[in-house]
Structure 1
Amino acid sequence: MKVSFLPLLLLLTGSASAQVFKPFKVNISMGYAKPLEAASMGGILLSLEPKYGLNDRVDLGLRYELGLMNHAYTVDNGSGTSELKGASSFVFTGNYLLSESNFRPFVGAGLGVFTVGGVSFSEGDGGVSGGTKLGAMVRAGFKAGHFAFGAEYNLIPSSTGVMTSASSVVQRYKSPNAYLGLKIGFDIGGGAYE
């Protein structure tokens, strides 16, 4: 009886060690980026986010993201849509996973730097200059095994300034930079679902 119990014990020990929590993982995602102003048009997102799990529910990470989209702008109450412009970001992130099952809803937030592209105007001298801005991000979504789906709202201050038109009239401009991202991706490494 002791001989038949030993293989069962080894089998249980082996399956338990396969479920060990692994803290390091890298998320690779792609998706759709949409500025929230009405005249804007969406584009694509690509992101890479190395993460470290403090435990099985809390992840800390650094997200690098590149988004390409058309933003709307206003010039002294007139409006238009920009050419395709990019936004990249380095954001320190934190996620909280709401369960420990294979289906894991999560919420998160982040703070970091966003670099936004400029906008050129077809008339006059000038445009909306790009630059680096401090911004924030909030997110929610779910993981199923190593796959993840999420929605993120990137809160980036608007670009503002003045420009001189062809007739030497000084005009104020504003171009909102905030956008919503819908992403699907997968984690390499980490977790108990490897």
Structure 2
Amino acid sequence: MESRDQDNGASIRKLNVQMLGKLLVIAVLMFGFGYALVPVYKKICEVIGVNILTPKDVTVEDVKNTQIDKSRTITIEFDANAQGPWRFRPTVASMQVHPGEMAQVMYEVVNTQERNIDAQAIPSYAPQQATPYFKKMECFCFKQQTLGPNEAKQMPVVFFIDPALPKDVKTITLSYTFFEIGGPGKKSS
């Protein structure tokens, strides 16, 4: 009887060791599958052209914007209003662009005070119907600006005009109001 219990115990241990081996193999395979999933997914996406996570190097010559409407020219006028202790102006009064064409204009601001100033710019457009068609890629108006004492900054606006702009719009005015946040009594960092 005792020998049978020992045989059963040995056979249960043997089965447990086999089960542990199988579970370890499954765990290693699952880890390997999870580890390999990301590169396999990237490769599949690259091959079928969906959700490309690893774009190839592209040169300027490779990029051809077919959305530029060269048959139309829009005049963009630039305006600046200062509500605070500084000088604020665009570096050019106007420019002409084709709808869909990327363009850049610089605005210049000079803090005339002996203290730091926190400021923000708010854009407005005329005619108002042009607002949804004026697409800014980069703009100093996206975030608050901090100007040191007597500091001057050149701040870019990179934009394009959506080709869907109504045909009757020939001129757009981009105007910024630059104002101090917190006022002169606020302690700036």
- Say which structure is richer in helix: 2
Same fold judged by TM-score > 0.5? no
- TM-score, normalised by the number of residues in structure 2: 0.29
- Say which structure is richer in strand: 1
Tell which structure's C-alpha radius of gyration is larger. 2
- TM-score, normalised by the number of residues in structure 1: 0.28
